[in-house]
Structure 1
Amino acid sequence: MADPYATLGVARGASEADIKKAYRKLAKELHPDRNQGNPKAAERFGQVTSAYDLLTDKDERARYDRGEIDGDGNPTAPFGYGAGGTRPGGAGGFRSQQFDMGGGDAPDMSDIFEGLFGGRGGGGGGFASGFGRRSAGPPPKGGNVAYRLQVPFADAAALAPQRVTLADGRTIDLKLPAGVETGTQMRLSGKGDPGAGGPGDAIVTIEIQPHRFFTREGDDVRLDLPVSLKEAVEGGAVKVPTVDKPVMLTVPPGSTSGKTLRLKGKGFHRKAGGRGDQLVRLVIDVPADDAALKSFVAGWTGGGNPRANMGV
């Protein structure tokens, strides 16, 4: 017998638009699909739905405002005779959360539930119409199961298949998508918990492991490559690791530390197709105690001041 205005949290003179807006908000919060295992939420959902039904029926709302019926739609006078002459089973009838005994058409609630629950008529939990009746909807699916998969850096770049062991002990080979990165989620349909309406899904979140010498920059891979002083001065071909396999790279004569060379197509696979590159930065490795090098440097002028462009 609660006040339907108070149940929806609106003023007595609220417009139909205000009532509808208030109901949308409450129904979204309280719908059984989103409150499984919470009977209080289901009870409250029924109350706000019943209040919405009454206040969106112009005749019933007017009768309530005149005091002829209570918040449940029942006549307020003894033995069911209201001020307007309403009787049990008459044209006004009793109004109940479970049944509409007035003989009128039930209000169309599809517009509300389509907006709230994706057009499923109130969701798969079984609650459908504004009168709290249970529909013959499909039984609920099982729950989804979350997994976190650590993928080696090179495997992620090359899209190498990854084997996943599910909770029931089964294994599945997972094909990584182009553009994969840490946080990418992959859905495996039907690999979740069992349920009356079929199994749920497995949700796999990817975590790319760091590499000991590769780093990622967008779809490119970066690498600092040590080269000897002789290789830097004279140039020549050197072997370079990539995320696929080692390749030969030509170092130009007279290269300095920090010079960056590019290996095309040796990076991560792009979502739009193709692959990024591998950017190789040369780092000249000078031995700490080489007598021949010390002897050479002692008689060398040094080639000028390499810091001159810095003003020092």
Structure 2
Amino acid sequence: MIGRLPGTSRVSRRTAAAFLRSTATAFGGVAVAGQLAGPLFPHGLPAPGWVTVGSAGICVLWGAYRSRPVPVVRQEFRRPDLTVVVEAGDLFTAPGHLVVGFCDTFDTAPEDGRLINEGSVQAQLLRRRYDGDVRRLDAELCAALAPVAPRSREVRADKPLGKLDRYPLGTVAVLGAPPRLVFATAYSRLGLDLVASSGVEDLWFCLNRLWDAVDRRARTDSVAMPLVGSGLARMDHLDQDSLLRLILMSFVARSREGAVCRELRVVLRPADLASVSVPEVRAFLRSMAEGLADR
């Protein structure tokens, strides 16, 4: 279920307020129409009770229509020419290359959910792109990370599960082959307690490194990514709405230097859409597009 009861979130309150405003506006329009139509019915309206009920129903339906959550935002940019799309759906059926977040150890084995949450995008990558074959995923990661020197190495006594080499935050391992690359980006640090964490500055830095890799390998293509950072320790103070704006701002800021890719598609889970104000995201993207065009 996408929606929540009014009052359970900031977005729900905005939706409820929009519903009330639209419904009140419709009632006002109906009242004016009634006054204008009055002279046409000197003996009163036929079946006034039904007319009242029908008018009220139409107003409520109009308010619901006007305040409905819109699942897709699409914004065209000029100079450089690119498109940003925000939508709810399945990341793995979205067109183009994929972005998948990893921790700095690039762990892949779920270890019964102790290392990788079974519902995470990374777990879906293993199941849906690699048919659960951890060895094949590890082999591609090893080849992609070969030019990168690990930042440090843990000892097994301190980290009993998973891999030991730690790579710098912002490291991007490009997996697969065109037309369906996977940009595996390390944007969180996995603690010895097996809890992944990242901060706003870390995420901003990692996004910039991601755009660099996309620029090198997919400049003329479409790239789809999830709402990275959601649920990470030290990022809990940022809601989905703020994380989405951070991603979009980072992409547009980097695009000022030149097109990163032809299209960026941020794919939200339906549950995330309930925490995102789609009209405000649309206005946010429009203002950035106007600012980019005026520079």
Quick check: TM above 0.5? no
Structure 2 length as normaliser, TM-score?
0.22
Q: Which has a greater percent of helix?
A: 2
Structure 1 or 2, whichever has the larger Rg, is 1
